[in-house]
Structure 1
Amino acid sequence: MMRNITIKNPLSIIAVFSTITEGLCIYGLPNLTEKNQDIFVWFIICFPTVLITIFFLTLNFNHSVLYAPSDFIGVDKDTTKKFFKTNKYIGGQKENKELKDKQKTEIDKPILSKVKSEINVDEFLKNSSIIGVFALYAVSLSKIKEKPFNINQLCDEVSLLTGDYTVGYLIASSSLGLFSRTNYSKKWVIVEYNGILMNKIENEVENRINNNPKELEYLKSQKKAIEEFFA
């Protein structure tokens, strides 16, 4: 019985692509003319060589791009940091220097998006990743406690919240009007938060935890870590 193959990260895509390419090449080789066969044989020889060379260069200089954020759910923070330390990753996501430089130019610049009540919160939460839901929960606590926060420090304390993914998700959520913030170089100040989302976000977090029995204890610890961060 064949097992289902799940393609969930760049490494899987590379493996499937190279396998299909080589398979089709071998299948088509006997059907070519003798002249074209010579060219095709060289392609079959050179293609995997080039592919392996590029793969090992990537593995040596920037190996973390071969993995998806979901590959690190359930991995403790220290292990993740140790794995990515050569590339200066935070929680499995590489810090983007250009993004940081752009953020520095917006110091003390208020975010113009306003909280919108017409957003379908239920649909938004349904389509959100578990990382996104936990990130929104953290923002809700920041608003409730009136406690500004440094997002990099938050990601350091909560291993589930991966650096660039969490930042991108929260910026997108803010742009949609789920909350508004004032962005400083070091702190996020939450100005407004959607009332409907505020009433539902903790229940959504609990639902995500209970619907993941294999990760139950880990997700509970991540929720607790967020709550302790804003205590």
Structure 2
Amino acid sequence: MKVSNPLTIVAIFAGVAEVFATGALVLLPETMQVKFIDFVMFFPTLIVVVFFLILVFKPQVLYAPSDFTNEEHFLHANNLKDVVAQETEKVLSEAKEKNQISGDLKALSKRVADLTVRGLEDDMDKKVLSYMLERPREAFTPRGLGFIFTTSKHTTLDSLLRLEKMDKVVSGMDGQIKVWQAKT
């Protein structure tokens, strides 16, 4: 079973905690059992309350990048691109104060954020291409590569399409399934 979602981790933790608590209950002295039963009843309620508080105030943290059809949406939902741009703007403004840089800081920080995303895409492209070149006689689906690299199908599909544009991989049909193979 692949656990890639924080919600799954919370559910597994809560279930395991309840099972162990129930098992431990019979081993406790009677004087402690009443307090322990209160705790065992309160603990899941606490988890549910905290879960709903998170759901109301910060729901995006309950999803992994692979839960999004486009991981760019994950960056947007968690404001990661904005955070990178803000941090870059801060660094650039410090550099500008020391007369080490000139120009529009917002435009520069946006460019750095875009370059960061492009760098991540390039890294993914390199991983996918090297994996495929190691297996030149095999054909791959985006879902299969996504499983191998623990990313979404959409991310690997985007990578395959970029590699196909660069003429490094070719696509074809295997029955009704589109597959990609490294160009040798």
TM range (shorter): 0.5 to 0.7
- Give 1:103's aligned residue: 88
Determine whether 1:71 maps to 2:67.
Answer: yes
| Preserved contact between residue 9 and residue 66 of structure 1 (Cα < 8 Å) | yes
> CA shift at 1:186, angstroms?
2.5
CA deviation digits over 1:54-95, x for unaligned, max 9? Answer: 0011111111111221222xx157xx85xx7xxxx61x5433
Secondary structure of 1:6's counterpart equals coil
> Is residue 137 of structure 2 the alignment partner of residue 213 of structure 1?
no
Q: Distance in 1 between matches of 2:140 and 2:78?
A: 23
Structure 2, unaligned stretches of length 5 or more? 96-106, 116-121, 133-137, 146-152, 166-184
Shift of 1:99: 4.8
Whether 2:87 is the aligned partner of 1:187: answer no
For residue 151 of structure 1, what is the aligned residue in structure 2?
A: none
Count of residues in correspondence between the two structures: 133
Indicate conservation of the 8 Å contact 1:106/1:184, yes or no.
Answer: no
**Aligned counterparts, 1:27-38, within 5 A:** 27-38=23-34
Distance 1:58 1:223 in 2: 36
After superposition, the CA RMSD in angstroms is: 4.1
| Structure 2 counterpart of 1:42, one-letter code | D
* TM-score under structure 2 length normalisation: 0.54
**2:141 is matched by which residue type in structure 1?**
P
- State which structure, 1 or 2, has the greater radius of gyration over its C-alpha atoms: 2
What is the rounded CA distance, in whole Å, between the counterparts of 2:127 and 2:157 in structure 1?
13
Please point out which of 45, 50, 54 is paired with 1:49: 45
Q: In the TM superposition, what whole-angstrom CA distance separates every residue of 1:135-188 from its partner, at most 9, and x where no partner exists?
A: xxxxxxxxxxxxxxxxxxxxxxxxxxxxxxxxxxxxxxxxxxxxxxxx932224
Deviation, structure 1 residue 101: 3.4
Higher helix share: 2
Q: Which amino acid aligns with 1:38?
A: V
Matched, 1:8 2:28: no
2-structure distance, mates of 1:56, 1:63: 9
Deviations 1:100-128 (A, max 9, x none): 4332122275xxxxxxxxxxxxxxxxxxx
User: Which aligned pairs between 1:1-231 and structure 2 lie closer than 5 A?
Assistant: 5-72=1-68, 75-76=69-70, 81=73, 90=76, 92-95=77-80, 99-107=84-92, 184-188=108-112, 204-206=127-129, 212-215=140-143, 218=154, 219-224=156-161
Query: Residues of 1 paired with 2:124 and 2:89: CA distance?
Result: 30
Q: What is the TM-score with the length of structure 1 in the denominator?
A: 0.44
Q: Which runs of 5+ in 1 are unaligned?
A: 110-182, 191-197
Q: Is the 1:25–1:44 Cα contact (8 Å) retained in structure 2?
A: yes
